[in-house]
Amino acid sequence: MALTAGMKAPDFTTTDQDGKEVKLSDFKGKKVVLYFYPKDMTPGCTTEACNLRDNYKLLQKQGYEVLGVSTDDEKMHRKFIEKEKLPFRLLADTNKSLHEKYGTWVEKSMYGRKYMGTARITFIIDENGILAEVIEKVDTANHTQQILGEAKSPLAKAKPAKKAPKKVSKKPVKKVSKKRK
């Protein structure tokens, strides 16, 4: 059965990039962004992690703790954190028990070949351990806006930079005649 908003978030115990035990129940009274991603240091996963990194203070200001989850081990998570300077914890789920509880270990298909892998899904968990939202279509480059909600997000209010008008050259254009053969 797929998890949906309003359901109790499944508790878990696993380890982070430093081998420290992490339980969802440790975050009671806090909002949690629990995001599942396929693999450390791949293009889409890096884009998603960096978007969360770049907006981490804003997420914290809104009361969120961020936890990333993949099947990579602690050592790989540590490298990813160091390389991208990620300020949040990454959880190692090498035995896929967390993936199973959250329904993120799924059959995928690429080039007609079927295989099992991680579904990129984010679970927003409220202070009482209830799923407030499940984001199944993650926009890796704009994930923070999805988490905060487009309308509520301070990022949504930021106006895009105006493009400088193109300068038009005043030099005369040479006409080139084409000779027919």
C-alpha to C-alpha distance for 98 and 129, rounded to whole angstroms: 15
113 CB burial (10 A radius; 0-12, 13-18, 19+): exposed
Other CB atoms within a 10 A radius of the CB of residue 88 amount to 20
The encoded tokens of residue 61 equal 């200001």
How far is residue 12's CA from residue 20's CA, in Å, rounded to a whole number? Answer: 14
Between 43-54 and 74-84, two packed helices, what is the crossing angle to 10 degrees? 60
Q: Are 69 and 91 in contact (CB under 8 A)?
A: yes
Q: Which of 22, 45, 92, 148 is catalytic?
A: 45
- Whether 45 is catalytic: yes
Counting beta carbons within 10 angstroms of the beta carbon of residue 79, is it exposed (0 to 12), middle (13 to 18) or buried (19 or more)?
middle
Residues classed as catalytic: 45
